[in-house]
Structure 1
Amino acid sequence: MADRTSSSITIAADRSAVMAVIADFAAYPEWAGQVKSAEVLSAGAAGRASEVRFTLDAGVISDSYVLAYDWHGDEAVGWRIAEPGAMVSGLTGGYRLAPAGGGTEVTYELAVELKVPMIGMIRRKAEKVIVDTALKGLKKRVEAA
């Protein structure tokens, strides 16, 4: 598996409020910049999505793929590719949520593998842009609620 890109941000809300936004896939196009649509295909026993089809437009990468989710209460969620897309062959990542003062520290990790060759440095830069954009969008969405 490729090296992961990781970043953290502190959000002024408790873990359950942050995880509620993370689990609301239908709203992703409103705050997760590159996500154009997110459709829940199946849900697990706790009612949270177990498989989600995403349509992504991140400039040089436009694709549709399915991710499988593994939830750990309001502490963490991880995902992995369930159905690769035309360009995305592998995608793993997750959010880890930890109490931080009066809020929550959110750490986002992401590793992307593409079917087309891409220099590692350029791929990591693209991952960093995706991670940073997602964290800033998540913070804005949670704190506006």
Structure 2
Amino acid sequence: MAVSDSKEIDIEADKSAVLDVIADLEGLPSWSSIHKKVKVVERTDDGLPKRAEMTISLLGVNDDQVLEYTWSDDGVTWEMIESSQQKSQTAEYRLTEKDGKTHVFFEMTVDLKVPMPGFLVKKGTKSVLQTATEGLREQVVR
């Protein structure tokens, strides 16, 4: 059963600064405790990550994933191509700029291969949303 959730946050920076941090996939392990290893294996003509391999660890469960990214001026979406623990994963960062700040909307849908207790799924989802928004803000405003 797929689980979806979202979170929003305002970051005191322009949209390009926020996108720069999001696009630095190889830097993720420095500010996201979930990400253990990230390798960009293919880039777009603009140099943005198109496909990446990563190892994540969440609630003691390790997952090796391959994600494919689609970039726009207002954010990025990705889809999981391969995973050891998930049937599917889609996510999106949607950014809007206003008054020198960037409003970040993050949404993710995950379908696990193995059923997990609901309280663990909620705890994991909360951790991912926290990192994807508040962790992102901390990295951008450094």
TM exceeding 0.5: yes
Distance in structure 2 (CA, Å) of the matches to 1:102 and 1:139:
14
Task: State the shift of 1:130 in Å.
Answer: 0.7
Residue identity matched to 2:38: A
Name structure 1 gaps, 5 residues minimum: none
Q: 1:138 aligns with which of 128, 136, 139?
A: 136
Partner residue in 1 for 2:77: 78
Per-residue CA deviations over 1:36-90 (Å, capped at 9, x if unaligned) read 11100101122101101110011232111100001012x01000011122x1221
1:114 and 2:112 matched: yes
Distance in structure 2 (CA, Å) of the matches to 1:93 and 1:134:
11
Name structure 2 gaps, 5 residues minimum: none
Q: Secondary structure at the match of 2:2?
A: coil
Partner residue in 2 for 1:18: 18
| 8 Å contact from structure 2 (residues 59, 124) kept in 1 | no
- Mean CA deviation greater in 91-100 or 111-120: 111-120
Residue identity matched to 1:10: D
- Mean CA deviation greater in 126-135 or 3-12: 126-135
Distance in structure 1 (CA, Å) of the matches to 2:17 and 2:53:
23
| 8 Å contact from structure 1 (residues 33, 137) kept in 2 | no
1:94 and 2:92 matched: yes
Task: State the shift of 1:136 in Å.
Answer: 1.2
Distance in structure 1 (CA, Å) of the matches to 2:44 and 2:109:
24
Residue identity matched to 2:42: S
Distance in structure 2 (CA, Å) of the matches to 1:119 and 1:111:
17
Distance in structure 1 (CA, Å) of the matches to 2:44 and 2:70:
9
TM-score of the two chains, using structure 2 as the length reference: 0.92
CA RMSD of aligned residues (A): 1.5
1:58 and 2:61 matched: no
Per-residue CA deviations over 1:76-133 (Å, capped at 9, x if unaligned) read 1000011122x12211101001113321011111111111112456424421221112
